[in-house]
Amino acid sequence: MPTVLITGASRGLGLEFARQYAADGWRVVACARKPEESTALNELAGASGGLVTVHVLDVAEPAEIDTLATELDGMAVDLLLNNAGTMGRESFAEKGLATQMFGQSDYEDWLRTMRVNVLGPMRMAEAFVENVAASRQKKIVTLTSVVGSIGQSKFGGLYAYRSSKAAANAVMKAMSVDLRPRGIIALPMHPGWVRTEIGGPRGELDVTTSVTGVRRVIAELTPADTGRFLQWDGRELPW
């Protein structure tokens, strides 16, 4: 039975990943900052026959990552899916491209965004690399965003979010080089502009379509794909 560890699994994409992987018979380690408030996730776990377990985890809190690593010591993790992320204090769903405009930077919020979107995936990878290396599939995937693509940037704003996703892309690229000798496939993926709490109601994809596509791409990954920047439908994006 393959195992997936999902961060940010209480809602949106993370919750749908947990649903779909469990439906396919995977063991799902589902993480949430506030499990006691994650009603849908707890209901999924309760109906899963033990396939889904819920764990407390804020990826911005190193102590919580260490605690989870201790709990999962010795467990092979086929896929570490770094899904947890934040756009920061401002809501893109409400403000659109007026979010995080030049001259309006909230630097404390920017630092928080970097801790979640960049340091979080790195800490998770370092904490669980042995679990991944012990598995059959050996995959680490971090969900980033096309707005982190410098080569495809066509509009301004979104400074905190954009820079955090570009940094996460760089982290995953470097990680792919370092972990290649261990047979681990590491890469960033863009899930598309999805209708979630972060993406807002105008997103191009629904959650099910995005997750189904991302899972298909992940399932087909080979060592030759490590370090690529792919999106939900398998197309490659410019850095």
Q: Considering the domain 3-231 in this protein, what is its CATH number?
A: 3.40.50.720
Are 8 and 78 a contacting pair, CB within 8 Å?
A: no
C-alpha closest to that of 56 among 32, 27, 29: 32
Are 7 and 83 a contacting pair, CB within 8 Å?
A: yes
pLDDT single digits (tens) 78-116: 999 999 999 777 665 555 566 677 888 899 999 999 999
Q: What single DSSP character describes residue 11?
A: S
Query: pLDDT per position in the chain (239 positions), as tens?
Result: 999 999 999 999 999 999 999 999 999 999 999 999 999 999 999 999 999 999 999 999 999 999 999 999 999 999 999 999 997 776 655 555 666 778 888 999 999 999 999 999 999 999 999 999 999 999 999 999 998 999 987 778 889 999 999 999 999 999 999 999 999 999 999 998 766 666 556 657 888 999 999 999 999 999 999 999 999 999 999 99
CB-CB neighbours of 115 under 10 Å: 18
pLDDT of residue 90: 61
Quick check: pTM over 0.85? yes
pLDDT of residue 206: 87
Q: What single DSSP character describes residue 49?
A: T
d(CA 49, CA 100): 44
C-alpha closest to that of 137 among 56, 218, 61, 75: 218
Long-range contacts of 163-170 (CB under 8 A, 24+ apart): 163/110, 163/114, 164/113, 164/114, 164/116, 164/117, 164/118, 165/117, 167/114, 167/117, 167/118, 168/117, 168/118, 168/121, 168/142, 168/144, 169/144, 169/229, 169/239
pLDDT of residue 197: 63
pLDDT of residue 129: 98
Domain ranges across the chain? 3-231
The runs of H, that is alpha helices, within 120-228 are 120-133, 159-179, 207-219
Find all residues with CB under 8 Å of 98, minimum gap 6, and list them. 157
